[in-house]
Chain A
């Protein structure tokens, strides 16, 4: 309750108010320059359009407008704390005509130009309102001084409209003239020339001064809105960027996966099988009564035994690699696959699955590998004693949550596979969120659409 009362009183002295006032003052010259530049360059380019420099001029000044927009964004960030994502950098197609075409079609340039044209009228209006509010407010607040010093006399100032003019005139004119002109009147014949009336004027001044920050804030908000609308990256370009990033990540990921599988096959299975062939070749020669190899059934048996062992190891490794490529249990559904996964987990884990709508195969695979990765993290890093995996799929959304009672401290930006997981989830417009305070517990939640 006290805030409602004291806030308006504190506001004129708030840091934000001064920052906004400073912003107005500092961006005013830029607004003038930008307006002149945008208008003149555009008109000049249109007039010169019949010559060969018209279009290049339009293109070049468009890019320059983009730069001015960047300066404006920088000022807004510095003084208003307004963070907006800049539009994607200008990307020219090769060749002079490619550059020209790209520059003329660059939406960010045109939007920046539009901003420069709109900014000046807004800035003028805002500065006017600010000057009136603060100037007149101060004047009215201190009204008894002027009134008393000039005494009752001929009056020119209309209470609401002429006051600002009077301030400006007052600043430029000498004292005695001011003295004649400062008695405020309420109506044509009602003057604020008595103390109660003077106090009323003062109160009005106070209200005006208190209202000033809000008026300025409102108009600066319009500017913020323009910056967001015209100088920021548009949703479309943002989306394109996001998708490009996601696509690059997916391509990179699948290449990395293939490399990993090749490495696993090369270092594991192929080496095992080559060794197996070697052992069997040796054993065979020991049984062949060859000239250069003594007949040695015991040695051969020993080698066959080794080969037998290698075969079993190779089979197990091959099974792991195959499962790494595609877990067979996924064919039965996500819950079946997760049940197998949970059963193999090193940390005792409970699964709660509620899958009402079956997700697409791609989503199931991502969800499965997310769970596998998260459970592997639990086993490796968390020192947890218990973990749970919850998965629900209904109403068009899949939610996977892995909880553990470990030491916490998991961070999305650091190792342990979380960044990669994040990329994979985002590639299908999913979301990964982590809550892992030091000391635990850790909750990682993966939200995915049902169909990618």
Chain B
């Protein structure tokens, strides 16, 4: 996949470029602010962008604003927000209409290189990648969290969280060290308990779960 990176910390940006190039993903542009990102995306039409939320000039949320504009203008380009912090409000804004091709990860996640590259690949293909911390906050912020605890078993809870991160059944099975069939059974049970329509597309079910959480 072809990648554009927007990140103002030089050392981190260079490290990221090196990592992705080594994994065979050409970084077609690495820029340091939102305006440059818009220009680079329009020029290179990448599969996915990695965007730092805090960038010059205001160091607040220009990355996020640039990303939202990007999704409007180039819906086919995946956007992975990359941040030192998780802000539920940012996640909610980003996922407002549609979670296809959206990711929001803590920068720490890059330490598990393969997981990170997988997540980026998922976003590039129109999937979703939410940081466990984002999911935890979304679940925690939800009034339905209590209800969830009452209704779901501990294992189902884990599966729900991994689903919300945007993982496939296979990935969930691997993360929990169980068979894929078991995961499918848990998923079906969760959807039945929450009264959600069953969905096989990973992306659609993320949306369903998030929508359920946000409605709380």
Which A residues are closer than 8 A to B by beta carbons?
A: 263, 266-267, 270-272, 274-275, 277-282, 284-285, 290, 292-293, 299, 306, 310, 313
Contacts and interface: CB of A to CB of B under 8 A. Distances in A.
B108 A274 contact: yes
A313 B108 CA distance: 18
25 contacts: A266-B54, A267-B9, A270-B84, A271-B9, A271-B11, A271-B12, A271-B107, A274-B110, A274-B111, A275-B9, A277-B108, A277-B110, A277-B111, A278-B16, A278-B19, A278-B113, A280-B111, A281-B112, A282-B22, A284-B113, A292-B114, A293-B114, A299-B22, A310-B11, A313-B11
Contacts of B107: 270-271, 274
B112 A263 contact: no
Contact of B59 (A263, A272, A274, A306): A263
Contacts of A272: 11
- Dominant secondary structure at the B interface: helix
A70 B8 CA distance: 55
A281 B110 contact: yes
A383 B107 CA distance: 42
Nearest to B117: A292
A292 B11 CA distance: 26
A281 B11 contact: no
Summarize A's interface: helix, strand, loop or mixed. helix
B15 interface: yes
Nearest to B16: A278
Interface string B1-45: 000000011011001100100100000000000000000000000
A278 B9 contact: no
A285 B107 CA distance: 18
A278 B111 contact: yes
Nearest to B11: A275
Contacts of B108: 274, 277
Nearest to A272: B11
Nearest to A294: B22
A206 B113 CA distance: 103
Interface in B75-127: 84, 107-108, 110-114
B8 A278 contact: no
B8, B54, B113, most chain A CB atoms within 10 A: B113
